[in-house]
Amino acid sequence: MKQAAIQLLQDDCSRVIQEHIADLDLLRDATLLVTGGSGFMGGWIAEMVCHLNDVHRKNIRLKVLARNRARFQERLPHIAAKPYVEFIQGDLRDLVDLPRDVNYIVHAAGDPDNRTHSINPVGTMINIADGTRALVQAAERASDLRMMLNVSSGNIYGWQPAELTRIPESYMGAPACGAAESTYAEAKRYAETLMTAARCQSRLPILIVRPFAFVGAYQLIDAPWAVNTFINDALQKRPIRVLGNGQTVRSLLYGADLALWLLVMLVRGKTGQIYNLGSDAGVTVETVARLVAAQSQPRLEVLLNAAPSRNIPTSILVPDTSAATRDFGLKAITDLDTAIRHTLKWHQTK
């Protein structure tokens, strides 16, 4: 990655962190372990840790546990080179011993790519279940574990009803049981409950976070989420193609904001709490496409691909994040237009 691209990410971290520097002082001299640390979330957490260490001298030790060292070094070379970053190669499912000095854990392992879920649904479920099991069993023997943050998924709520503009944490919806498309969400539900069981049985300090949708650097450009394909189209200077009628409603939070929210919740959250994580500003996919299109000169064309109307209700997935705002003062700092612009620029620079 070019220095200019790294600088863009660091500028983003610096911009969003301003009001929360004091909160994050709790990370000073602590050891943070991130499982699945070479993905989108892992990348942004690492950027934020670098910012905290390099600018604010927090002296955080970051340990990244993931299966593939080469992938980590390829995707995050500048992070891998930091003296305070250690890569632990291994399959989480076989984890026995955690690093002895671990104080905080972000359990972000798990592939959210729904193509993988369709190709390998059994593997998807087993990976999530066994990885989480191994982690909680190892954490039982950690002596100064202050918080383990379990990254769940907004998908665990199942279908969002049209009359509900935003899903609160208390919403009792669930994915359809026994449905082929429920594998990932159901496994994530299981992981949440297993974490809770470990909290009740072994007094592990555990916080559950349910992330929704995001945009930003480190998202794979070929990932199947709408915004990525739009950004890919824009980078290729071709018309932006929307699958379907574009009326699906999502909300997108920027990567730097995501990392900030995760770390603030990790250090300030109380065991047993559950928070949605995302933007609460719902937008149609068509709007997102048009925002991406507007970033190019001349403006790119947006193509909808609607099937004849079949009375399928519009899919909505937007979190109510008032709990995060109330308890931690967290809100989306980067607006969607800025988020898209910065993401495009990073891709063009790197």
Partner 1 sequence: MQQYRIAILGSGNIGTDLLVKAMRSPHLTCVAFIGRGYTSPGMNKARALGITCSDQSIDYIPEHADEIDLVFDATSAKDHALHAPILKALGKQVIDLTPAKVGPMCVPAVNLDSSLGSSNLNMVTCGGQASIPVAFAIGQTHPEVDYLEVVSSIASKSAGPATRINLDEYIETTEKGLQAFSGAKRTKAILNLNPAVPCIDMQTTIFANVKNPDIEALKRVLDPIVEKIKTYVPGYKILVGPILDGDRIVVMVKVRGRGDYLPEYAGNLDIINCAAIAMAEQFAMNGGN
Partner 2 sequence: MQKVTKVLVSDPSLRDGNHAVSHQLSADQIAKYCRAAEKARIPIVEVGHGNGLGASSLQVGLAKTDDDVMLRTARENLVNSKLGIHIIPGFGTIKRDLERARDLGVDVVRVASHCSEADLTERHIRFCRTNGITVFGVLMMSHMISAQLLAEEAKKLENYGAEAVLLMDSAGYYLPSDVTERIGALMDNLSIPVGFHAHNNLGMAIANSVTAMECGATILDGCSRGFGAGAGNAQLEVLVAVLHRMGIETGIDLYGMLDAADMAEQELLKEIPRISSLSVVSGLAGVFSGFSKHVQRLSTEYNIDPRDVFFELGRRRIIAGQEDLIIEVAAEIAASKKEQS
Q: Which residues contact 118 (CB under 8 A, 6 or more apart)?
A: none
- Comparing CB distances to partner 1, the nearer of 134 and 316 is 134
47: which 2 tokens?
A: 């950027």
Please name the residue that has the structure tokens 């500048």. 78
Report the nearest approach of partner 2 to the CB of residue 145 (Å). 15
Which of partner 1, partner 2, none has residue 222 at its interface (CB below 5 to 8 Å by kind)? none
- Comparing CB distances to partner 1, the nearer of 188 and 199 is 199
Interacting residue with partner 1 among 22, 70, 81, 97 (CB under 8 A): 97
Which of partner 2, partner 1, none has residue 141 at its interface (CB below 5 to 8 Å by kind)? partner 1
- Comparing CB distances to partner 2, the nearer of 165 and 201 is 201
- Comparing CB distances to partner 2, the nearer of 191 and 204 is 204
Q: Which stretch binds partner 2 (CB under 8 A): 75-83, 118-126, 135-143, 266-274?
A: 266-274
Interacting residue with partner 2 among 119, 200, 243, 303 (CB under 8 A): 200
d(CA 42, CA 136): 19
Neighbours of 290 (CB within 10 A): 18
Q: Which stretch binds partner 1 (CB under 8 A): 96-104, 257-265, 273-281, 310-318?
A: 96-104
- Comparing CB distances to partner 2, the nearer of 68 and 202 is 202
Report the nearest approach of partner 1 to the CB of residue 67 (Å). 16
Q: Does 205 bind partner 1 (CB under 8 A)?
A: yes
Q: Does 271 bind partner 2 (CB under 8 A)?
A: yes
The three state secondary structure string of the chain is CCHHHHHHHHHHHHHHHHHHCCHHHHHCCCEEEEECCCCHHHHHHHHHHHHHHHCCCCCCEEEEEECCHHHHHHHCHHHHCCCCEEEEECCHHHCCCCCCCCCEEEECCCCCCHHHHHHCHHHHHHHHHHHHHHHHHHHCCCCCCCEEEEECCHHHHCCCCCCCCCECCCCCCCCCCCCHHHHHHHHHHHHHHHHHHHHHHHCCCEEEEEECEEECCCCCCCCCCHHHHHHHHHHCCCCEECCECCCCEECEEEHHHHHHHHHHHHHHCCCCCEEEECCCCCEEHHHHHHHHHHCCCCCCCEECECCCCCCCCCCEECECCHHHHHHHCCCCCCCHHHHHHHHHHHHHHC
Contact (Cβ atoms closer than 8 angstroms) between residue 311 and residue 277: no
- Comparing CB distances to partner 1, the nearer of 103 and 150 is 103
Report the nearest approach of partner 1 to the CB of residue 91 (Å). 11
Q: Does 270 bind partner 2 (CB under 8 A)?
A: yes
Interacting residue with partner 2 among 273, 295, 296, 322 (CB under 8 A): 273
Total chain residues near partner 1 (CB under 8 A): 18
- Comparing CB distances to partner 2, the nearer of 203 and 238 is 203
d(CA 137, CA 96): 8
Total chain residues near partner 2 (CB under 8 A): 7
Interacting residue with partner 1 among 193, 201, 236, 314 (CB under 8 A): 201
Amino acid at 251: S
Q: Does 273 bind partner 1 (CB under 8 A)?
A: no
Which of partner 2, partner 1, none has residue 200 at its interface (CB below 5 to 8 Å by kind)? partner 2
Q: Does 71 bind partner 1 (CB under 8 A)?
A: no
Instruction: Answer whether the bond into residue 298 is a cis peptide, omega within 30°.
Output: yes
Enumerate residues 125-154 that contact partner 1 by CB under 8 A. 134, 137-138, 140-146
Q: Does 203 bind partner 2 (CB under 8 A)?
A: yes
Binding site for partner 1 (CB under 8 A): 94, 96-97, 100, 134, 137-138, 140-146, 201-203, 205
Binding site for partner 2 (CB under 8 A): 200-201, 203, 270-273
